[in-house]
Chains A and B, each alone.
Chain A
Amino acid sequence: MSSVIGGVISLVLLFGAGMLLANTVLGIGIGQQRSLDTAAKTSGMRLRTSISISSAIAVDQGSTTGVTVQIGNDGSVGIIVSSTMDVFVSYTDTTDAMVREYLEYTSGAPGANQWTLTSISPDTFNEGIWDSDETVTLDLVLSPEIKTGTSGIVLVATPTGITDSAYFDAP
């Protein structure tokens, strides 16, 4: 009788411990699988993203310099142009100082040291999204203005951190 009671209790104990461990291992497995899946998707997005700046042209705007940048999406995923993209410029100003600025995104007309999306061309598929083989035009406003006879550089980073850069000549 005593051995039966002890045996039953031990079996219950073993069963409980086994259930707890199995639950833990299952939870770990599911969590790992989900995070690896997410990481694989993110990594895949980055591998399929590629941009190429086709032109960067500066125009004199008085005390500021406007730069129009055209960038082609030569990857295979669409990109949403927004504040999650980064635009950097580096140039020499009229006082011979080196200027390095992170330009802030704006959805309206850009002010000093801001940039905006002007157009996506063509935009017949997935309107508003910068799809593969489409070209975006960004307008930048640099302050102070760039020194005449010099060149500056613009670097653009997509939301997934893929970058391209190009030189532009002072107007």
Chain B
Amino acid sequence: MDKVITTALLAIAAVISAVVMINVVLPGVNKSSTALMNANNISVDRVKTVVEVVYAYGDTGTDEIAFYVKNVGDTTINLVDSSEVFLETPTTTKRIPYGSGTEYWTYSIVSAGDTKWSQRATVKITLTLTAVETGIHKVTMVVPNGISADLEFSV
């Protein structure tokens, strides 16, 4: 009788321990799995993203620089306004913020029929500046997932 009770108690303890272990280990494994999948999705998105600056020019009269960036990768690029734009002039290098301020950039999709920056579509980035110098410039655009393209041109 004592042996039966002891065996039953030990069995119950073993089951409870196993259940506790399941409750601790499985969620952890699940979280790791989810994190790995998310990291992989980000990596896949970066591999499929390729952009190319195809044309750029500056205008000392209107103090604007414009450049055209083509999506030559295999994915649509969303949140264009979350991209970063950098400008190297003969005298300085600076980051130009999006939207508003003393110096800023805006964009428009110039490819006919495109409302998103989809594959093979081209966007025009316009930099509104306080002054545009003459000389060799370089524009760099970094899209939201970190892929970048640049082009040197002369004003």
Contact = CB atoms under 8 A, between A and B. Distances in A.
Contacts of A6: 14-15, 17-18
A147 to B, nearest CB: 16
Interface of A is mostly: helix
B22 A28 contact: no
Interface residues of A, number: 43
A35 B33 contact: no
Interface in B1-54: 7, 10-11, 13-15, 17-19, 21-22, 25-26, 29-30, 32-33, 36-37, 40-41, 43-44, 47-48, 50, 52, 54
How many of chain B's residues touch chain A, expressed as a range? 35 or more
A13 B122 CA distance: 52
Contacts of A17: 25-26, 29
A32 B7 contact: no
A28 B68 contact: no
Interface stretch (B99-107, B108-116, B137-145): B108-116
Given A24-B36, A31-B44, A157-B54, A42 B72 contact: yes
Interface in A15-70: 16-17, 20-21, 23-25, 27-28, 31-32, 34-36, 38-39, 42-43, 46
A90 B57 contact: yes
A132 to B, nearest CB: 19
Contacts of A157: 54-55, 70, 122
B124 to A, nearest CB: 7
B59 interface: yes
B97 interface: no
Interface in B48-103: 48, 50, 52, 54-55, 57, 59, 61, 66, 68, 70, 72-74
Interface of B is mostly: helix
A102 B74 contact: no
A130 interface: no
Contact of A32 (B32, B40, B50, B70): B40
Max chain B Cβ within 10 angstroms of own Cβ: one of A21, A39, A100: A39
B36 A86 contact: no
B71 to A, nearest CB: 9
A28 B110 contact: no
Given A10-B18, A102-B68, A161 B54 contact: yes
19 contacts: A2-B11, A17-B25, A20-B29, A21-B33, A24-B33, A27-B37, A42-B73, A42-B74, A83-B112, A84-B120, A88-B54, A88-B55, A100-B57, A100-B66, A102-B122, A155-B54, A157-B55, A157-B122, A161-B54
Interface of B: 7, 10-11, 13-15, 17-19, 21-22, 25-26, 29-30, 32-33, 36-37, 40-41, 43-44, 47-48, 50, 52, 54-55, 57, 59, 61, 66, 68, 70, 72-74, 110-113, 120-122, 124
Q: When A and B form their complex, which 9 residue pairs have the shortest distance between CB atoms, in order from nearest?
A: A6-B14, A9-B18, A2-B10, A161-B52, A84-B120, A35-B44, A2-B11, A24-B33, A161-B72
